[in-house]
Structure 1
Amino acid sequence: MSESIRDFAHWIKSQGLEHTLPRELSKLESLTTLDLSRKKLKSLPESINALQNLSILKISGNRLTELPQSICTLKNLRNLQCENNLLQSLPENFGELSSLVILNLNGNQLTTLPQSFYALSKLTRLTLAVNRLSHLDAAFRNLKKLLHVSLDTNYFESLPEVFGSMQSLYYLDLSFNKLTTLPKSLGEIKELETLILEGNLLQNLPSLEAHDMLVKLNLASNHLTSIDFDISKLEDLKILSLENNLLESVPNTLCKLSKLTSLDLSANRLKSLPECIGNLLHLYELDVEENLLESLPESIQKLTNLKNLFIANNHNLQKPDLPTLEYCDIE
């Protein structure tokens, strides 16, 4: 029995956690899952390296300002949940956690990532939202197996050309940063299904036409004045959010998105909608409130699946006579 496991057992007792973990040292040493979430912990002991069989470690919702260096020796660790702590940095050798597949560091105070971080080549799910990050190294392209990435609510003004290698990435959230442009390599991700870009400073877009598997696209709260790519190429798109931009018109090609179920064009400068909008036969929800519309296209009568319609704060728009409509914000 190692001295480290005795030290860890002593630490457990000192934190009043002995009722939640095995008392027998042999069972403690063979633990594969450890949940220390929401235990008001301010630190973890270096003796955590005694738990060499750990596969899942949950330490979210504590008051941790750092992680012990020894945590990086847990070679079997596949899932690390460390959300909502006070981490300001990660150990320099963090990349030695070579088995990590899932990493959640949401809601910390990270300003940088150690260079070794980019060696975590087995990662498939990475969430770094709500931190203070402003820089990603070009070595981020090494994380080729990523499927799900959340970098929202940080301070990124730009991102390096790293996405071309991530051919299986299906979910990418870059919302609420300070992005004025997007990397061209974004257009090289073949499998992307969800792209969230809300709350940035984007004035124009790279061609997103390659994303023909995209199901959800959120471009809300940017500085877009036009849609300058052929949006009809996004043939699987179901949810499109363009609210709170500077759009004065939307292209007729929008009407070719035959699978669209939700369309939000609110809080723009639209004076009209495409007459062909009636072609969106699967549309379930349409939001065009807070624009400059004086009328709705006659073809709106064709939207026989429309349930929710938001048209308030335009120029005296009248509620259309649609039998299927369940809610309209104007009576």
Structure 2
Amino acid sequence: MILTVTPNPSLDRTYEVPALRRGAVLRAAADRVDPGGKGVNVSRAVAAAGRATTAVLPLGGAEGALLERLLREQGIDVAGVPVSGATRVNVAVAEPDGTLTKVNAAGPALTAAEAEALLGSVGDRSAGADWIACCGSLPRGLAPEWYGRLVARAHAAGARIALDTSGPSLTAALRERPDVVKPNTEELAQAVGRPLATVGDAVRAAEELRGLGARAVLASLGADGQLLVDGSGTYYGTAPVTRVRSNVGAGDASLAGFLAAGGDGPDALASALAHGAAAVRLPGSAMPAPGDLEPSTVTVTRDVPGDRALTEPAPGV
């Protein structure tokens, strides 16, 4: 069972338009609303694969009630923590060439009591969990150290932690030695404070995160594939995609595939790549089912192309 923690969940509404024109009235060719938030998406992908998952998240207002209903309809056990503010609604506009424009709301501010209740709910539901995936940005009211507290509590209870966050929240949690962290290229560059221009740059940055406390680093390099850097060495993998429909939630689907395959080694990396590639071929933030996967297109190797230039280099911060 994979338990997910999403401190700042959302409802994600996606509109597909022929072209995005600033200042114009646009008519959508299609639209959909999905449960959103990085941990929520991990739970959705795990459930789509037919596996057990529990989503721990704050829920508020009519938006929170709709989010809970949508998750339960997808076979997800929901451990909702009531909060006074309304769950946020995010909007994405998708164009036929794969360009995606997103507007993410800030979300409600959590009180100290609500933040503590969220930690308590994780503890109450963590028994029997193979992994606890802590994902996404922290809402207003939660200090950057909140994830670190969660990692420490989970480890004390004997659970394994996957952490997908960035900035001060990631930095503060590294000292608690999360079992795996999952940055993308930009987040990896931000964490080490320098630009990343090649796959080799990304490998060195991942090794630095391991030196700061991460036991393993699963790094998403966008169109350039993924890296897994752990105690056994470095693996590099790719899964070509001919047409990108939407990349919303692709990284979350990738993490779900990694954890569902055990969360360790090249087989788990291959599963992560297959799930991420399948997600970008789907509309909105739809999560892939087993029938959407194309494992034959995945390649994983220890032969890392260190000099290969990244398609989207990341500036350091």
Tell me which interval the TM-score lies in, with the shorter structure as reference length: under 0.3
TM-score (norm 1): 0.27
- Relative to its length, the structure with more helix (as a share) is 2
Larger radius of gyration: 1
**Taking CA–CA contacts closer than 8 Å with sequence separation of 6 or more, which of the two structures ends up with the larger relative contact order?**
2
- Relative to its length, the structure with more strand (as a share) is 2
